[in-house]
A and B are shown apart, each in its own frame.
Chain A
Amino acid sequence: MKSRNSLTEKVETILASLPAERRHLVLFLHRVQQELGYIPGEALRMAADYFAVSPAEVYGLVTFYSAFRLKPGCRHEITVCQGTACHVRGAPELAAELSRLLGVRPGQENPEKGVSLRTVNCLGCCALAPVVVVDGEYKGRVQKEQVPKILEKLTVKT
């Protein structure tokens, strides 16, 4: 009960910091994810009310962008870019390798290892292709051979 209330309070604070115009909806979603690590359904409902957009439309928006997550994430989060530039420079192989080593498919999580893996459509830094983001840290020009090393660091951190 208490956690739920503090959650609504946090969302309310974020809402209060933004004008009630629908163009601020995406910014709101980013801020909620930044603050809570994910976007709870209640926050979507509150945003719909505040920005005068239907809940269905908010949900459509939040599912359109793969950057938004609707469930709490794991301790570690690995994102592989699947944009055109990354794709031609071997992103699919990177994703497959990460998937094999972590034992999860993209879009899934491994709570035992505390790692979730996902793919996104473009991170906007194509010059660094292929790009992997590990816990918010961008790693450019990643080669398949570097993958075990990247994962090693994660285990040390835990």
Chain B
Amino acid sequence: MPEPVIKLKINGMAVEARPGMTVLECARSHGLFIPSLCDLEGLPAFAGCRLCLVEIARRPHRSPACQTLVEEGMEIVTSSPALEELRLATFELILSEHPYFCLMCQEKAGCDELKTTMVKALEPGGCLFCPRDGDCELQRVAEYLKLKRVAYEFEDRGQSLWQSDPFLTHNPNLCILCGRCVRVCSEVRGENVLSFIGRGPQTAIGTFLERNLRESDCSFCGACLDVCPVAAFSERGVTAVRGRRIYEHSFICPLCGSLCELEAEYLEDARLRRIIPESSGGPVHGLACARGRFGLREIDDLVRGELFPVLQEDRRLLSVTWEEALAAAGSLLKKYRPEGIALVSSGSVTADSLLAFYQLGHLLRTDNLYYFYPEAFLDRIAAFENQHGIEVRRKVDFKELERYRTFVLVDTDLKSEALAFWLEVKKELRRGARLLVLDSGLNGCGQTAGVNLRCLPGKEAEALLALLKRVVLKSPQLSFYAGYHRLLDELNSWPEERLTRESGLGQAELDRAAEILLGSSPALFIFGERFLRQPRWAENLAALWNLQLRLESGLLPVTGKANELLIPGFKNLFGLKTLTSTEKIEEAIRAGQIKALYVLGDLPLEDKPELLIVQKPLRSGLAEKADIFFTSGSCLESGGFLVDLAGRIKCGPRELRIPGTETRPADIDIISRLAETLGQSLEIEGYRGILESMLGEEPARNRGGSLSYLPMLAVFREPGKSTEFEIGTTGRPEELEVIVGDSLDHYGGLAMANLSPGFKAIRNPDWLWLNPRDGDRLGFMEGQKVVLETADGGLALEVKYSSGLRPGTAFICPVLDDSKKIKLFGQGIIKGTVRIKNE
């Protein structure tokens, strides 16, 4: 069926449009320019700037094109002397509160060359200091309207600048109140940090209680920078281009499974100017978060440090040529028997490098191929599937999200762990879908949720069963999947109020959540690695399985890491083993079983085998102990294949080219050259095909995997009778239940917070998140240095408040750079007491 078409006339020209298009979109799609400052593709219409007013035949008033939908037979005039006069008058009013001297300076033409006019007016700054000069939307409109003079004296609002946040600043005196930042912040990103505050002439962009952004739950995604039409929001340290040559280099950020496409802008002297999201579809659609756009920007200088490999000889470190280092590595590796060699990879390397790395392992005939995977997420799902004969889907399919009317996030902060996925979910929320969050820890999406269920840590299963019980009671329809009657019997044996009490949730919120689940179906249950990184993970998953089956809804695990979906394929292909901790490797080294170790990425090891080869972009951590250190290109210098959370292969450009700068070889090139020194060759050309077949492999079906309810009693201890692991029920008042979250804020084995002071200010892995009430109760202050005592030793941390955290619980997000932290991470939820640190 052909798509319905609306026929209308613009400026006498017959045009066609799709239903639901606005007049502005229609005009733009036919190459017509209508000035506009507040409208932006992807944002809901605002009709605030009034510049896009058009005349429509048979309508008494002029209408804003951005908010007027096309209609059959419409006759529109987008430009007439009267309209342009009106626009100019409106524009002058907008400019009465924005410095406008830069827009009509008569010396502008020769300014770059001559710089005749340093001070345009008494206004401090002027165009010479404006970071957006040449790229300002006001300048474009002024040019279109041929602005010559402004009838009003410029009025400086005199509001103070936002100066206490890292990465970006806001100058309210340049703001034209177009509201793009407010809309992108709440409607697109779901950050909900910015809002219009005040009224009338005092209106400004502000935050809750006018706090700093870093105290306002802002995740510094930088979307406000991308949409601001003027220089009201500007990135720190970024000045206007003004005739300088800019080298653009697109690359893929490998720091999470979203794999955002970013663009790095380099100046002629090879300095990184800034990193922005790739935005061919318009600035609203660009994907980036603080990690990619600010974190990588600040670490760029550091990772480009060492250009040559480093060899350790008689305790001396020598910088040598690649030939020498590779020959040394080759001849040393040859000395060991295959069973004495181990290869371990971790961290954010490309998929083709991983493939080459494990293939090299095969060439060395060793079976000791490992992937450092403390999350053990997919392993646990696979174990559960095998045990129960069920199947859980792995890959996110963005296209099918529109099918779902409720999204339930279970122990996953999509905004931070899978931004690309979150923005798609957010689109559905704008179309009326509902959001529920069930999380015992901090969850950045909670603010957007209709109901935010903060259950007790480790009591997710009880919370899900309490929900299931309500669903069963509220909707007495039968379910035809096998095992339903047994499930009802089991549920009957657990009183509702006990499940509710055990979960730590309130009656009312559970009722509301159940109503949403029943009233707005189908639902998609999305769970993250924290849901399974708990002692009772199997119970959690069984309860979730039964709930989603009863509601005939979807179930989807979300993988936080790039290439994570390849792990099962690597296991099949190479017999790869995953490591949840470093203990096994350490033992093998101490016992002399592993004599030579080749690490791609970083691994926090205390002991070093006879031969240690480390390959990563930065000589830190394990690389400092290495006999041979291969300094490989960072994600900014070299790309390759990466697999995102939807199982798609993305390919970044192989090389960064800025004239006059040297870069280091990519991981894959180092590995294949090493293979050559061993007299072997890797067939890199066929890698894409191998990766595709690995991803295309369906999980082994027909394991009797029909849809049926899981018997709860088999996996589930009777609620409230748990003995070995008891949390949240009793305990000393000073004891907190500490949830150990996943920190993605590291690159090359180094925490971003340790490299960038800005990052430390917004997301410090040494923060101990507490509810302010607990802080008061225990006599702490925010910012206080404390020690968290656990059964596995103490951690030096700093108190940070969040009222989004349930009282009695604490939250930490350590970067896993030592074995103690890995141990805590593996447990997921620990008990701890906090004491003030003695200096």
Contact surface of A with B, Cβ cutoff 8 Å: 1, 4, 20, 41, 44-45, 48-49, 52, 54-60, 63-66
Whether B216 pairs with A52 at a CB distance below 8 angstroms is no
Q: Mark the stretch among B53-61, B344-352, B444-452, B604-612 that contacts chain A.
A: B444-452
B201: CB under 8 A from chain A? no
13 pairs, CB–CB < 8 Å, chain A vs chain B = A1-B776, A45-B208, A48-B447, A52-B449, A52-B450, A52-B452, A54-B193, A56-B186, A56-B194, A56-B195, A57-B186, A64-B199, A65-B199
| Residues of chain B lying within 8 A (CB to CB) of residue A45 | 208, 803
Min C-beta distance of A44 to chain B, whole Å: 7
CA distance in complex: A60, B207 (Å): 8
CB-defined interface of B193-212 with A at 8 Å, one 1/0 digit per residue?
11111110000001111100
| Residues of chain A lying within 8 A (CB to CB) of residue B512 | 20
CA distance in complex: A63, B198 (Å): 5
| Residues of chain B lying within 8 A (CB to CB) of residue A49 | 452, 803
| Other-chain residue from B199, B449, B450 in contact with A63 (beta carbon distance below 8 A) | B199
Whether B206 pairs with A59 at a CB distance below 8 angstroms is yes
Top 10 A-B residue pairs of the complex, sorted by shortest distance between their CB atoms: A54-B192, A60-B195, A56-B195, A55-B208, A63-B197, A59-B208, A56-B208, A64-B199, A63-B198, A60-B197
| Residues of chain B lying within 8 A (CB to CB) of residue A64 | 196-199
Whether B197 pairs with A59 at a CB distance below 8 angstroms is yes
CA distance in complex: A157, B512 (Å): 50
| Residues of chain A lying within 8 A (CB to CB) of residue B195 | 54, 56-57, 59-60
CA distance in complex: A49, B216 (Å): 14
CA distance in complex: A64, B449 (Å): 25
Q: Tell me the residues in window 751-785 of chain B with beta carbons closer than 8 Å to chain A beta carbons.
A: 776
Whether A44 pairs with B208 at a CB distance below 8 angstroms is yes
Min C-beta distance of A118 to chain B, whole Å: 14
Max chain B Cβ within 10 angstroms of own Cβ: one of A44, A58, A63, A66: A63
| Residues of chain B lying within 8 A (CB to CB) of residue A54 | 186, 192-193, 195, 208, 447-448
6 further A-B pairs in the complex, CB-CB below 8 A; given A20-B508, A44-B209: A48-B447, A54-B448, A56-B208, A63-B199, A64-B199, A65-B199
| Residues of chain B lying within 8 A (CB to CB) of residue A59 | 195, 197, 206-210
CA distance in complex: A63, B203 (Å): 9
Whether A56 pairs with B199 at a CB distance below 8 angstroms is no
CA distance in complex: A41, B209 (Å): 7
Min C-beta distance of A146 to chain B, whole Å: 29
Given contacts A1-B776, A57-B192, contact A52 B206 (CB under 8 A): no
| Residues of chain B lying within 8 A (CB to CB) of residue A52 | 449-452
Q: What is the chain B residue whose CB lies nearest that of A62?
A: B197
| Residues of chain B lying within 8 A (CB to CB) of residue A65 | 199
CA distance in complex: A137, B449 (Å): 42
| Residues of chain B lying within 8 A (CB to CB) of residue A48 | 208, 447
Whether B206 pairs with A60 at a CB distance below 8 angstroms is yes
CB-defined interface of B782-823 with A at 8 Å, one 1/0 digit per residue?
000000000000000000000100000000000000000000
CB-defined interface of B208-222 with A at 8 Å, one 1/0 digit per residue?
111000001000000
Q: What is the chain A residue whose CB lies nearest that of B196?
A: A60
| Residues of chain A lying within 8 A (CB to CB) of residue B197 | 59-60, 63-64
| Residues of chain A lying within 8 A (CB to CB) of residue B186 | 54, 56-57
| Residues of chain A lying within 8 A (CB to CB) of residue B199 | 63-66
Whether A58 pairs with B208 at a CB distance below 8 angstroms is yes
CA distance in complex: A58, B186 (Å): 13
CA distance in complex: A44, B195 (Å): 14
| Other-chain residue from B216, B452, B508 in contact with A56 (beta carbon distance below 8 A) | B216
Q: What is the chain A residue whose CB lies nearest that of B186?
A: A54
Min C-beta distance of B182 to chain A, whole Å: 9
CB-defined interface of B428-467 with A at 8 Å, one 1/0 digit per residue?
0000000000000000000111111000000000000000
Min C-beta distance of A157 to chain B, whole Å: 32
| Residues of chain A lying within 8 A (CB to CB) of residue B209 | 41, 44, 55, 59
CA distance in complex: A42, B809 (Å): 20
CA distance in complex: A93, B671 (Å): 83
| Residues of chain B lying within 8 A (CB to CB) of residue A20 | 508, 512
Min C-beta distance of B202 to chain A, whole Å: 9
Max chain B Cβ within 10 angstroms of own Cβ: one of A4, A44, A58, A59: A59
Whether A56 pairs with B803 at a CB distance below 8 angstroms is no
| Residues of chain B lying within 8 A (CB to CB) of residue A58 | 208
Max chain A Cβ within 10 angstroms of own Cβ: one of B208, B447, B450, B452: B208
Q: What is the chain B residue whose CB lies nearest that of A45?
A: B803
| Residues of chain A lying within 8 A (CB to CB) of residue B198 | 63-64
Min C-beta distance of B506 to chain A, whole Å: 11
Given contacts A1-B776, A20-B512, A66-B199, contact A56 B192 (CB under 8 A): yes
CA distance in complex: A60, B193 (Å): 11
Min C-beta distance of B834 to chain A, whole Å: 18
CA distance in complex: A96, B264 (Å): 57
Q: What is the chain A residue whose CB lies nearest that of B192?
A: A54
CA distance in complex: A59, B216 (Å): 12
Q: What is the chain A residue whose CB lies nearest that of B193?
A: A56
| Residues of chain A lying within 8 A (CB to CB) of residue B452 | 49, 52
| Residues of chain B lying within 8 A (CB to CB) of residue A4 | 776
CA distance in complex: A45, B193 (Å): 13
Min C-beta distance of A67 to chain B, whole Å: 11
| Residues of chain A lying within 8 A (CB to CB) of residue B196 | 60, 64
Min C-beta distance of B198 to chain A, whole Å: 5
| Residues of chain B lying within 8 A (CB to CB) of residue A60 | 195-197, 206
| Residues of chain B lying within 8 A (CB to CB) of residue A63 | 197-199, 206
| Residues of chain B lying within 8 A (CB to CB) of residue A1 | 776
CA distance in complex: A66, B452 (Å): 31
| Residues of chain A lying within 8 A (CB to CB) of residue B451 | 52
Q: What is the chain A residue whose CB lies nearest that of B190?
A: A54
Min C-beta distance of B433 to chain A, whole Å: 14
Q: What is the chain A residue whose CB lies nearest that of B803?
A: A45
| Residues of chain A lying within 8 A (CB to CB) of residue B450 | 52
Q: Tell me the residues in window 494-524 of chain B with beta carbons closer than 8 Å to chain A beta carbons.
A: 508, 512
Min C-beta distance of A123 to chain B, whole Å: 16
CA distance in complex: A60, B452 (Å): 22
Given contacts A45-B803, A63-B198, A64-B198, contact A56 B776 (CB under 8 A): no
CA distance in complex: A59, B209 (Å): 6
CB-defined interface of B669-710 with A at 8 Å, one 1/0 digit per residue?
000000000000000000000000000000000000000000
CA distance in complex: A65, B202 (Å): 12
Min C-beta distance of B273 to chain A, whole Å: 31
| Residues of chain A lying within 8 A (CB to CB) of residue B193 | 54, 56
